[in-house]
Structure 1
Amino acid sequence: MSMQYQARNGLTDKEARYTLTPTGIDWQAGEKSGSLAFDAITSLRLIDYVSPNGTAYQCTIKSHGHKPLKFRSQHYVSLGAFEDRRTGYSAFVRALLHRLEHRNDIRFIAGSTGLWIMWLSVGLIYLGVALVLVLVILEEVASINLSGIPAIIIAIVAVPLVWRSVRKGRAKRFDPRDPPASLLGAA
């Protein structure tokens, strides 16, 4: 039994259709098509990230001799317009993991250390800017200058996003028989 998932990752991409076969993944995007044997897969990474439509989920598959296959839970429709395809994405990724669960030579990775470092850096910069703003406002409290209030409001709103992303931590390995539900997008 084959399973399919279809999505367009972004403006410059064609809509791609991925099909699980007994031996691998077939894909077609516009005029281009290909096949990736399960035996060639070296790693599978699941991540989530903030997008204009909320949280988006992404699966990246690396292999010997092929460009990485990357598909997302959000389908790009047009500039600024995305369609949520989490249900199909989640079912497809779960079926893929089920077919790969016996492979001990594949690195199953949850999260991204690069994204974590980026959010940690943003958090540190944010703290530095917040400290400067507080010092400036405390210095100007006597003259009742309210020019820094909008910046403080923006800073307070950004705290949960930065903290959530930093708290998730770096990339970790996971068992394909028990994938992290938080990175699959649907139950």
Structure 2
Amino acid sequence: MSSNSYSFRNSALEKGENVYSLTDAGLEISTQGYKDTIPYSEIKKVRLYHDPTRFAMDKYQCDLTLSNGAVFTLKSVHYRGFGDFENRGSAYSAFLRQLHERLKNFPGIIYHSGNNPGCFAGNLLIIIGTVIMVSLALLYMGSSSTIGILIKLGVVVVMLIFSIGYMRKNKPATYSPDHLPEKLLPK
């Protein structure tokens, strides 16, 4: 597919792929028997964020919010089977660059990167709470050996490293369509 179109399948619940195409008339969407062209002027908000899962750590998403409140989500991974996701990051990023190139001609669109502030704060509280709970559990599980203590500390450190990386990528911000946040565009 060219960078003017992008397709992916969300999950086993979908029979086929969602196909998004950039046309002169607007964003053409074809998914599950639904086909429509949305004028670019109807897109009011764009949000780019990293949304890793156990099976797809490299999953990025783009939410497009329309003037009527409808939201369309593009994902950088394609569902192939249970726990099996194909990384389509380079095609996803190329498509988003082309989409932003077209959208920059339409004033009034708000461009967000990362989580919304409430979600970000909630994630931060969950991470802090989880680290405290895991640390307390490891502390009270008991181990008198130095190796046992080091292993426990290692688990907490690894968890913190992954959490900090996730939070850095998803820190709420705005951007312009001329300067997309590279940290949210997979290679």
TM-score normalised by the shorter chain: which range applies?
A: 0.7 to 0.9
SS at match of 1:96: helix
Q: Which has the larger radius of gyration?
A: 1
- Alignment of structure 1 residues 8-19 onto 2, 5 Å: 8-13=9-14, 14-19=16-21
CA distance in 1, matches of 2:60, 2:138: 36
Cα deviations by residue, 1:143-178 (Å, 9 ceiling, x for unpaired): 669987765543232111112223346321101001
Q: Name 2:131's counterpart in structure 1.
A: 127
Which structure 1 residue ranges, 5 or more long, are not aligned?
Answer: none
1:168–1:30 Cα change, 3 Å: closer
Structure 1 position 133, deviation (Å) = 4.0
1:81–1:144 Cα change, 3 Å: closer
Q: Name 2:93's counterpart in structure 1.
A: 90
Q: Name 1:56's counterpart in structure 2.
A: 59
CA distance in 2, matches of 1:2, 1:82: 21
Q: Percent identity?
A: 23
1:82 partner letter:
F
CA distance in 1, matches of 2:145, 2:100: 60
Instruction: Assess if the C-alpha contact under 8 Å between 1:130 and 1:152 holds in 2.
Output: no
Q: Name 1:77's counterpart in structure 2.
A: 80
Instruction: Assess if the C-alpha contact under 8 Å between 1:119 and 1:162 holds in 2.
Output: no
Cα deviations by residue, 1:5-49 (Å, 9 ceiling, x for unpaired): 110122323411111011211111132211211011110111112
SS at match of 1:55: coil
Between Structure 1 and Structure 2, the one with more strand by share is 1
1:104–1:54 Cα change, 3 Å: same
Would you say how many aligned residue pairs link Structure 1 and Structure 2?
183
1:158 aligns with 2:167: no
Which structure 2 residue ranges, 5 or more long, are not aligned?
Answer: none
RMSD (Å) for aligned C-alpha atoms:
2.7
Length-normalised TM-score, structure 2:
0.84
SS at match of 1:54: coil
